Amino acid sequence: MGPNAEYIKLIAADEKEFFVKKADAVEVSKTIRRILDGPSQCKEGEINQIELSNITSPTLKIVCDFLAYRAQVNKLEEGEDARDFPIRPEDAVDVLKAANFLDC
C-alpha cells in the first residue's frame, strides 16, 4: 500500500511512519528532491517512501514540523512577519545532523 502521489512516507530509525505532503518536502529538502525527482528512477520514487534509519522519531517530527513551517513561510507575502521556529537546545544536535543530511 503506497500512499498516493500527494503525500510521501518518511520512516524513522524506530520504524515510526511520518506522512508529509510531497510538495512541501520536495520544495524544502534538496536531498528528498534529488531522491524523488532525480534523473535516475530510485525505488523510493516509485513507492513514495523514504527510509531514514539515521534519524530518530522525535527528530523526524521536528523536521516534519519544519517542512510545513518553511513551506508556509515561502508562501507568505512580502513584508509579512514570519514567526521564529523554536528548537530546544537538547534537540539541536540531532536536528542539525538531520538538516545537514536532508540539505535544508
Partner 1 sequence: MDVFLVIRRKKTTIFTDCKDSATVLELKKIVEGITKIPPADQRLYTTNSAIMEDSKTLQDYGFNATTSKAQNPTSIGLTFKLSSGEFEDLELCPYSTPPELPDVMKSQDANGQEQAS
User: Which residues of the chain form contacts with partner 1 (CB under 8 A)?
Assistant: 1, 3-4, 6-7, 14-21, 56-59, 61, 63-69, 71-72, 83-87, 89-96, 98-99, 104
Give the nearest distance from C-beta 58 to partner 1 in angstroms: 4
50 by Cβ neighbours in 10 Å (0-12 / 13-18 / 19+) ranks as buried
Nearer to partner 1, 79 or 89 (CB): 89
Nearer to partner 1, 39 or 90 (CB): 90
Minimum distance from residue 79 beta carbon to partner 1 (Å): 18
Other CB atoms within 10 Å distance of the CB of residue 13: 14
β-pairing, 49-51 vs 7-11, is parallel
Three cell numbers written together for 20: 508529509
Grid cell locating 58: 522525535
* CA 37 – CA 52 distance, rounded (Å): 17
Please provide residue 27's backbone torsions phi and psi, each rounded to the nearest 5 degrees: -70, -35
Give the residue with the Cβ less far from partner 1, 10 or 35. Answer: 10
| Residue (22 or 35) nearer to partner 1, CB | 22
Tell the smallest beta-carbon distance from residue 60 to partner 1 (Å).
Answer: 9
